[in-house]
Amino acid sequence: MKWPDPLQSRLSEALPDGYTLVQLSRLDVPKLVEKLPEWYPNISHGDGARFTRPKFYFESVSLKYESSRDTIIYVGLKGVELVSMVCLERDYDTKSLYGRLGVVAPEHRRSGLGVVVMDLIEASARLQGLANIYTYATLHNNTVQKLLEKAGYSPVGIVPGRDRECIPDRNEVVRVPEVLYVKALAHRERSLEAHPANMTPAVKRIWQTIKNVDVLRTSVD
């Protein structure tokens, strides 16, 4: 199914002066592959490594003017300069949208572009009738955590050693813990609230810790 074009909405008006957001095209793949290690030096290993390989884009990503796939990438431009990217993956079976990776060039991180990208992600999910958005944030620093929480995402769990990152100043590849964030959207389907009787003591302790976050307040019996 073709992705909706959220860029035709009010999002284009919210972009900082001189910036645009467009769907990644085949011609821009080499440029993005070249830029990403500059923007995000520890991308060479782990989940992000696929974004350094052109084959990933040509085989798995829905590129502009080409066949639609369940993975899409939007890139940010300042004039004609490539300055950001965000990768989204949809799952119609679970009505979920996964924010796999988002990166902004260091010199553009205070431009306001990241805020518009967060709006883009939510607009895309809503236009497709999806029920929730989820993503992971590293515990190597808290920059993404702050951005997600400001956008209304709730932390619901931590996965020890979920990913691998190259730490440039240590010249070492290490496993890093990540926190899972979820944003529940208004949806016509009912949600079943898990009953403590169906939980082990360990799971019950986790449930007690997160039961008051926003993502669980939408549950009904």
pLDDT of residue 188: 77
> Class of the 6-189 domain?
alpha beta
Say whether pTM exceeds 0.75. yes
pLDDT of residue 220: 36
pLDDT of residue 107: 96
**CATH 3.40.630.30 location in the chain:** 6-189
- What residues pair up with 73 in beta bridges, in sequence order? 87
Q: Which phi and psi (to 5°) does residue 165 adopt? A: -135, 145
- What residues pair up with 78 in beta bridges, in sequence order? 19, 81
pLDDT of residue 1: 81
pLDDT of residue 70: 98
Residues 157 and 210: beta-carbon distance below 8 Å: yes
Q: Mean pLDDT of residues grouped by 10 in the chain (221 residues)?
A: 85 91 97 96 90 98 96 96 98 96 95 93 95 94 92 93 83 91 86 88 88 51 35
pLDDT of residue 218: 45
